[in-house]
Structures are given as C-alpha cells and as structure tokens.
Amino acid sequence: MALSIILIGFFLLSTHFTYTNEQNVKLTQERDSLEKTLTSLKDEVALIRTAGKHFKDSIDSAITASQNLDTATPVTATTVASNFTTFPEDSSNSAEDTRELSDLKTLTGLLGSSTDALDNITKVMTAFRDLMANTPTGWPIKGAKGTVTTRFGWTTNPFTGLGYMHMGVDLAWGVGTPILATADGTVEQTNYSDDLGNYVTIRHKYGFYTRYAHMSAFAGKRKGDHVSRGDVIGYIGVTGLTTGPHLHYEVRLGSAYINPMEFLSIAPENAPTISVGERSSD
C-alpha cells in the first residue's frame, strides 16, 4: 500500500515537472520572440528617426526658399522649427525600452504638426508658378534673336523729326521670323492699323497686356483663343508705319504702359544673339 502511494506520488511529481519544464521552454521561446521583435522595433525606430531628421531639414530648406519669394503670402519657419525642438536624439544607449515607443509617438506628432506648414509652402509655390507663367517675361522672337533699335521712353520720330513717347521696344530681325507669346494668356485682338500694321494683343492674368505689331502675317490665333508662353502668334514684317522689318513689342499693366525690358529675360547662352542699336526702326 505504501509502495503504491509512493509510486503515485512519484508519477504526479514527474508529470508536474514535465508540464513545468514545457511551460518554461514555451516561456523562453516567447521571450526570445519578444526580444527579436523589440530589436526589430528599435531598428525601425532608428530608421524612422533618421528619416524624420531628413524630413525636418527638407522642411527648413523649403521654408527658407519660400521666404525668398516676393509674394503676398509669407511663410515663417518659427512654428515649424519650434515643433521640432523636442525631436528625439539617438536613444540606443537608453536602458528604457519604452523610450522607443515614446519616440514613435513624438515623431508622429511632429510629422502631423508640419502638415499645415507644408500646405502653406505648396500654396506659395503654386501661386509663384502661376504668377511666373502669366507674367510676360519670355523673349518675343524665336531663337532669342533681335536687335534692340528703339527703347521704351522719349525719342525722336524718324518720320516727323519730333519728339514722342515710344510705348514699347523695337526688336529688328528678318521678315518671317516667328513671334512668340511672352506669357500664358488670351488673345484680345488680331487687327490692323495704319501705324501698327498687323498686330496682336494678348490679355494675361494679374492685369498684364502685351502687344506685338508690324507683323507680316498672323499665325492663326483668333480673339478668345488661349495661348501659352512660347506659342507662335505671328511673323516679323514691315506692315504699318515702319522703316524696316522689326517687332514693336509693348507691355501694359492695366492702362499703364511699362518698359518691356524690365520684364524680358534672356538666358545667358542666348545673350550674344541680342544686340542694341542706336536708332529707331519705327
């Protein structure tokens, strides 16, 4: 009887020991798995931290660029910069594993708080691109050709010998050379007059108008047609009151005539093709 009790006790003890050992093995495996997961999490956090710092640098650069734009919608870096003052440094030496989760939460908050600044930057850049597309800054003769023979301002009329206000700039070049729209816009007029000959007027956004005169022919654009910067709108000629083939080019802002040379941009590689003469080609 006593032997039976001993055997039963030994069996129960052995079974319990086996179960306990299996539980320990299972817990050890779970611990190893969690350690691997934690290691992977730390690696991911390190990568996200690096990406976050690059993101911050990119925002700072974009804000600096937007501040250099002459627009009516300034963007300040103060708010964004202050949001990143608590950006976590490398915590690889920290004994607190929960710091990694805290870093993730901090990073999430920082990225979220930067959304408004990025939206503002996008609006500024979009407005700037639109302004540039609709401001008459392109060169009006294909191939950046032309000799500036009469500037904007007071000069002597070659036909009367009297002083008068020259409302544009004269660019002399060969008959038939394509004339280009200097900005996006809508054709306002395609007409003929005794002094301007064949001319095209284009209405642009922001109150700008441009006029191209003494054309030998139009290029098929009609009133109401949309044109983009660089579209051919006509060809250099000698129509109207003129002493030679040239383009008479005007820029208006509202009803005020302004000096086109204040707007015309010449790429450095094209500059040698532009020359300035002393006398009018009216």
State residue 83's pLDDT score: 46
Q: Are residues 28 and 118 in the same domain?
A: yes
Q: Are residues 217 and 246 in the same domain?
A: yes
Q: Is the pTM of this model over 0.75?
A: no
DSSP at 141: B
Q: Name the maximum alpha-carbon separation found in the chain.
A: 144
Q: How many CB atoms lie within 10 A of CB 220?
A: 10
Structural domain for 52, as ranges: 2-134
State residue 87's pLDDT score: 45
State residue 206's pLDDT score: 87
Q: Are residues 226 and 270 in the same domain?
A: yes
**Pairing label, strands 197-203, 256-258:** unpaired
Q: Are 208 and 192 within 8 A, CB to CB?
A: no
**Block residue for tokens 């020259």:** 166
State residue 129's pLDDT score: 76
Residue whose C-alpha is closest to residue 242's, from 199, 274, 181? 199
Q: How far is CA 246 from CA 52, 147, 211, 263, 281, in A?
A: 57, 9, 13, 19, 7
The amino acid at residue 265 is S
Q: Are residues 6 and 28 in the same domain?
A: yes
Asked, for residue 282, whether it belongs to a domain, the answer is no
Number of domains in the chain: 2
Among 101, 134, 167, give the residue marking a domain's end. Answer: 134
State residue 58's pLDDT score: 66
**Block residue for tokens 């009609």:** 222
State residue 211's pLDDT score: 97
State residue 162's pLDDT score: 87
Q: Are residues 13 and 128 in the same domain?
A: yes
State residue 163's pLDDT score: 85
Per-residue pLDDT of the chain (282 residues), as tens digits, is: 665 666 555 555 556 556 566 677 677 777 777 777 777 777 766 766 776 676 666 666 666 666 655 444 444 444 444 444 444 444 444 445 566 666 666 666 666 666 666 777 777 777 777 777 788 988 999 988 888 888 898 988 787 878 888 999 999 999 999 999 999 999 999 999 999 999 999 999 889 999 999 999 999 999 999 999 999 999 999 999 998 999 999 999 988 999 998 888 655 445 455 555 444 445
Domain of residue 254, CATH code: 2.70.70.10
State residue 197's pLDDT score: 96
Asked, for residue 232, whether it belongs to a domain, the answer is yes
d(CA 87, CA 267): 43
Asked, for residue 118, whether it belongs to a domain, the answer is yes
Q: Are 175 and 199 within 8 A, CB to CB?
A: no
Asked, for residue 141, whether it belongs to a domain, the answer is no
State residue 28's pLDDT score: 77
State residue 69's pLDDT score: 55
d(CA 255, CA 259): 13
Q: Given phi > 0 = left and psi -120 to 50 = alpha, else beta, which region is 99?
A: alpha
Q: How far is CA 238 from CA 176, 233, 243, in A?
A: 10, 16, 8
Q: Are residues 91 and 152 in the same domain?
A: no
Residue whose C-alpha is closest to residue 276's, from 144, 151, 148? 148
